[in-house]
Structure 1
Amino acid sequence: MCDHGDVCSSFAPGHALHLIQARLAAATPSEWVDGIVEGTDAAAGAVVVRTLDGAEWALWSAQGAALEVEPGAPVALHTRYHVLAVGRVRFNVAI
């Protein structure tokens, strides 16, 4: 598991992004929603995203998503498959 400092071996929500999960998200482009990062807590792995329609999403990722973004950064969220896109990098997130 990722809590030992190694590569995460779990594909549970918020852990490693599975290839199938990434492909399903890529195959359904109309389900991505654009958003802006409102806040992060790197120690807790938390990211708060507000989508352009005003919805707020509290996300958690053990992969380090909170280390890759800062408030005000644009991101995309796939709510069906729980994927956060930060530029070209994708994270499995727990919603």
Structure 2
Amino acid sequence: MAPGDVYTVDFHLQLPEVYPGSFSFSPAIADGTLISYKTRDWIDNAIVVQVGHAQGPIYGYMHLPCRVELNATLGAENAAAETGIG
């Protein structure tokens, strides 16, 4: 990735039944390992969803498996022309 490049990324989540309430998703991009990394971008509360009552009792926390796909990349020159920046 070069400074000024623009990437389009889709996140696909299969949400399990969770305890009723309001939940927010804050996607982030980091560079490095799980132990040593730098956060490159973060969108706090990018989307908030309200979950209603499930058919049965829900307890505890869980890990949400997900898939991330890189859909497109633009060089810095193309990104500036497309967004009007630069």
Q: Which has a greater percent of strand? A: 2
Structure with larger RCO (C-alpha < 8 A, sep 6+): 2
Task: Specify the structure having the higher radius of gyration (Cα).
Answer: 2
Q: Give the TM bin, normalised by the shorter chain.
A: under 0.3
